[in-house]
Structure 1
Amino acid sequence: MTAYLVPALAGLLTGAGLIIAIGPQNVFVLRQGVARSHTAPIVAVCAVSDIVLIVAGVAGLGALVAAHPDVVTFAKVAGGLYVGALGVLAARRCLRSDEVIAADAAGAGNTGAESTGRWVAVGTALALTWLNPHVYLDTVITMGAIANGHGNGKWAFAFGACIASVLWFTALGGGARRLSGFFASPRAWKVLDAVVAVIMLGMAVALFASI
């Protein structure tokens, strides 16, 4: 039991170090949590996606990705375009009037909009995860290599890393919901969207620059 505890703790810490960063995925979870909009399915998508990627990396997918750099290049182009578009949309939201922001918030309870919004939100969470080349470089390749360095304890390492992902996204989504009262002010939403725009556009530029 002790032999597997060390790699499990190593996986927990390594996973936390790679996942807890201010990137497009985390910013999206934060914004949706603050808006109290489809937080649970988004957290589930992000956590399950991470688990799939971690397991794939430990199983050897990292070597396959490393042998086919075109996969990462495609992810950089597609991810850069998608993240850039989200950044532009966030920048446009910053320019809306306070009255429009308040009206949007008041109309968020519409059933049809809620249903459509759920699938759009889930699709965005999937895109921000699977079109992010850092996912393949960090989670699949790096974490896979570290896990396999633990020999027979590699799956204990993977388990710890998966726990780190579940804990982080649950805490991020749940913690953001507690901030919803602060964001009753349209000005606060403008500040948040400005931060989202800067991070998304900055990530897009970084992705294109690295091709």
Structure 2
Amino acid sequence: MTRTALQVLDSAGLEQLTLRLLGKELGVQAATIYWHFKNKQELLDEMATLVLAEGAPNLLPARASSEWTAWAAAFGQGLRKTLLGLRDGARMVSGTRLTNTLYMKTVEQIAAQLIASGFTTRQAVVLLSTIYSYTLSFVMEEQAVFPRPGERSPQYDIAERNRSLAAEELPLLRQAGGILFDKFDRRYKEGLDLILRGAAMQFH
């Protein structure tokens, strides 16, 4: 049922996903769906739990490393990859409560590596939660621009945006369009690097 809900999300989007639509997709009465989930939020909790649990291997470094930066960077990059794997993935996960600990076990492993590298528990939690919040909000914006990979929303046409901004009044914001609404891979890595360098200076 949860996997079918993820398929509906991927095809219809978060706003259109309802318990009734899920029931229709499954060929069952709405009452059957409501027996499993009291409301849409409970359904989203299960969906987010499944997505994060199955994406947990993405959060670990590809190669064994003792460098805390490798673990912290892999956490952010892997989370972004997981969220981008599904339409409205970041918005769907935002604000949910996980219903099992599979994803948490991987985060525990990452946090333990940070602590082994000299971080206190609080420092490790602050760093990972900062990366999590940055990644979640970043992907929300990214998926607004590209609802599907390679398909730019017409609302984020850079040339059209530039035509609406007076060059004399807003020269910097005109230049910013290509940075904010294109080449997301590069900007994500640059932002993540700022976080890691800040952590190295403050915590380590």
Q: TM-score, normalised by structure 2?
A: 0.32
Structure having the higher helix fraction is 1
**Structure (1 or 2) with the larger CA radius of gyration:** 2
